[in-house]
Amino acid sequence: MQREILIPLPHVTLKGHLAFFDHPRAWVVFVHGSGSSHLSPRNKMVAEKLYNEGYSTLLFDLLTEEEDRIYTNRFNIPLLAQRLSEVIGWLQGYSAYHQEPIVYFGASTGAAAALVAAAAPYRKVPLVAVVSRGGRPDLAKEENLRQVNIPVLLLVGSLDHQVISLNQQAQQSLKRSELVLIEGATHLFEEPGTLDKVITKTCEWLEHFLPKETYVEGLL
């Protein structure tokens, strides 16, 4: 089932998109990067293919249109991390969610926000992993990175040389992480086939950290 949604939070209402099953392998919550939204074509493509693999997905706007007009908000990692945590609180009370595992999938600055949120998650959030696509984990403070106790997958384009270096630096502070270079990809993964490689690697990697007994009702 898929639907456009409004997410009411204490101080703002955010736009989003849900795609879900009754019994998914996990929920993948997308945290987009600077200047993007839940309409990001790359995140939408990844979300659609993960949905086809049995994952429920949530894409949402981290900022309202008014907030996004203030450029500095796009790089306010504490604000974005807090917004993510509030949305997760909303998801846990949503009728389609039944305590399935949760995965954060962050891109660019969204990856930093996901890692900061993962460093101090709500105690009752079954967060099992963070995936970063072309992420900027270096924008999360070192103290936050050191507090992330769950596995982190860092996916970076092989041609995105500066971001490779930044991910390597951040990886030194992460307890459980894997850095994978996606051959032929630049920062935005616009090259043909590169997002398919992202999806394949993500699915293979998540198999190690998700409960084996979950299933998707009506997927087959």
Closest CA to 2 of 60, 56, 62, 61: 56
- Strands ordered across the beta sheet of 152-157: 2-8, 13-19, 56-60, 27-31, 102-107, 127-133, 152-157, 177-182
Q: What is the pLDDT of residue 121?
A: 67
Q: How many CB atoms lie within 10 A of CB 16?
A: 20
Q: Is the dihedral of CA 74, 206, 172, 142 positive or negative?
A: positive
Alpha helices in 21-156 (DSSP H): 41-52, 65-68, 77-92, 109-119, 142-146
Q: Is the dihedral of CA 99, 135, 87, 49 positive or negative?
A: negative
Q: What is the residue extent of each domain of the chain? A: 2-206
Residue 45 CA to chain centroid, in angstroms? 13
Q: What is the pLDDT of residue 220?
A: 28
* 189 backbone dihedrals φ, ψ, rounded to 5°: 55, 45
Q: How many CB atoms lie within 10 A of CB 50?
A: 25
CATH architecture of 2-206: 3-Layer(aba) Sandwich (3.40)
Lookup: tokens for 175: 């307890």
Under DSSP, is residue 73 helix (H, G, I), strand (E, B) or coil?
A: helix
- Gap between the Cα atoms of 63 and 163, Å rounded: 24
Q: Which residue's entry shows tokens 């459980």?
A: 176
* AA identity, residue 204: E
Q: What is the pLDDT of residue 92?
A: 95
Q: What is the pLDDT of residue 36?
A: 61
Q: What is the mean pLDDT of each run of 10 residues along the chain (220 residues)?
A: 93 95 94 74 89 96 92 93 95 95 95 94 82 96 95 97 97 96 94 95 91 45
Q: What is the pLDDT of residue 37?
A: 63
